[in-house]
Amino acid sequence: MLEKDKLRKADIFSGGIIFLFGLWVVSMAVRMPMKGSWGGVQNVWFVSPALFPLFVGAMIMILGALLVRTAIKEVGLKEISSVMNWLTSQELFQFLRTPANTRFYTIVVLFFSLVFINISRIDFFLCSVLFLMAFISMFYFDDNALLKKQLYFYLFGTLFFIIYFVLKIDTLLKPIIPYASDWLTLVFIIAYGIYCWSLIRGVPELRKKYRTSLILAITAPFLIGPIFKYLLLVPMPTEGLVVVVLDAIWYGEF
């Protein structure tokens, strides 16, 4: 447990990050229309969809600034220099390599890849299976050494897809190979599964956890997804290879 003064020193930087996050929210909100005409109806500024994120962003900025102010008032300005020295010391790198931070990096990578890369470009069922398989296996194994290896493997695949989409290779392959991105994702899922198995095949307890991870990762999307897709008639974020197969089964189009 950190001492109170150390916590206050950390609050200086966490408050600064919170303030910057609020500033980012506000900067995104001001890009939204404050007034306009839609369908012949003139909307005024106080019904703009930008008001809520503007309010939330402003509140986050205020809270972040108050946290920094309280921290500085508690420890004094002279302590900031010692914190800056710590940021350039070897202790920082040791802190960043702690297991708790590794788990944080893992969560960031998994959610970043799902939200900003996969879900808008890859079939919903495939990106859900990939996310759940990686997320469950990484944390369910409860082994920091395995977590790092799994994270590096997943990160390599994520970097591949970033390059793949940035260079618009998916657009080039689309006329040649239908659902090329989905096929590549399926290959990545299989490769990740084989890699995980190679890491834990000698440990009976982890083999059992691995089977559980696979069952949950595959069954959850295919139990929940069809309910929204075919019963509630809610379209998936991206409908690709798997959705085409499910459509053929549901509507009998074979």
Quick: pLDDT tens for 35-72: 655 455 555 555 566 777 888 889 999 998 998 888 88
Percent of the chain with pLDDT over 70: 83
pLDDT value at residue 11: 75
pLDDT value at residue 1: 42
Q: 119 and 82, same structural domain?
A: no
pLDDT value at residue 113: 94
Q: Which domain holds residue 21?
A: 4-94
Do the beta carbons of residue 8 and residue 71 sit within 8 Å? yes
Q: Which of 74, 44, 142, 159 is nearest to 102 (CA)?
A: 142
Q: Is the pLDDT of residue 175 over 50?
A: yes
pLDDT band at 6, cuts 50/70/90?
low
Q: Which of 94, 123, 147 lies at the terminal end of a domain, its last residue?
A: 94
- Helices vs. strands in the chain: H and E counts, helices first: 11, 2
The pLDDT mean for the chain works out to 85
Distances (CA, A) of 1 to 5, 67, 91: 12, 20, 17
Do the beta carbons of residue 140 and residue 209 sit within 8 Å? yes
Q: Which of 68, 94, 120 lies at the terminal end of a domain, its last residue?
A: 94
Give the pLDDT mean for 212-231: 93
Give the pLDDT mean for 157-182: 94
Domain count, the chain: 2
Residue 200 CA to residue 141 CA, distance in Å, equals 9
Q: 193 and 117, same structural domain?
A: yes
pLDDT in tens, 192-213: 999 999 999 999 999 999 999 9
Q: 89 and 107, same structural domain?
A: no
Q: Is the pLDDT of residue 88 over 80?
A: no
Q: 200 and 153, same structural domain?
A: yes
Residue 74 CA to residue 88 CA, distance in Å, equals 23
Return the structure tokens found at 196: 């995980």
Q: 247 and 129, same structural domain?
A: yes
Q: 171 and 108, same structural domain?
A: yes
Q: 110 and 85, same structural domain?
A: no
Q: Count of alpha carbons within 13 Å of 214, Cβ hemisphere only?
A: 13
pLDDT value at residue 224: 92
pLDDT in tens, 7-29: 666 777 788 888 998 898 888 88
Q: 161 and 229, same structural domain?
A: yes
Question: Distance between alpha carbon 207 and the CA centroid of its chain, in Å?
Answer: 27
- Which helix (H) or strand (E) element contains residue 226? helix 204-226
Q: Which of 53, 70, 94 lies at the terminal end of a domain, its last residue?
A: 94
Return the structure tokens found at 94: 């040791």
Q: 193 and 72, same structural domain?
A: no
Q: 113 and 79, same structural domain?
A: no
Q: 132 and 89, same structural domain?
A: no
pLDDT band at 79, cuts 50/70/90?
low
Do the beta carbons of residue 123 and residue 240 sit within 8 Å? yes
Q: 144 and 177, same structural domain?
A: yes
Task: Point out the least confidently predicted range of 17-26, 145-154, 210-219.
Answer: 17-26
Query: CB-based contacts of 141: which residues, under 8 Å, 6+ apart?
Result: 147, 150, 200, 206, 209, 210
Residue 2 CA to residue 61 CA, distance in Å, equals 26
What is the model's pTM? 0.74
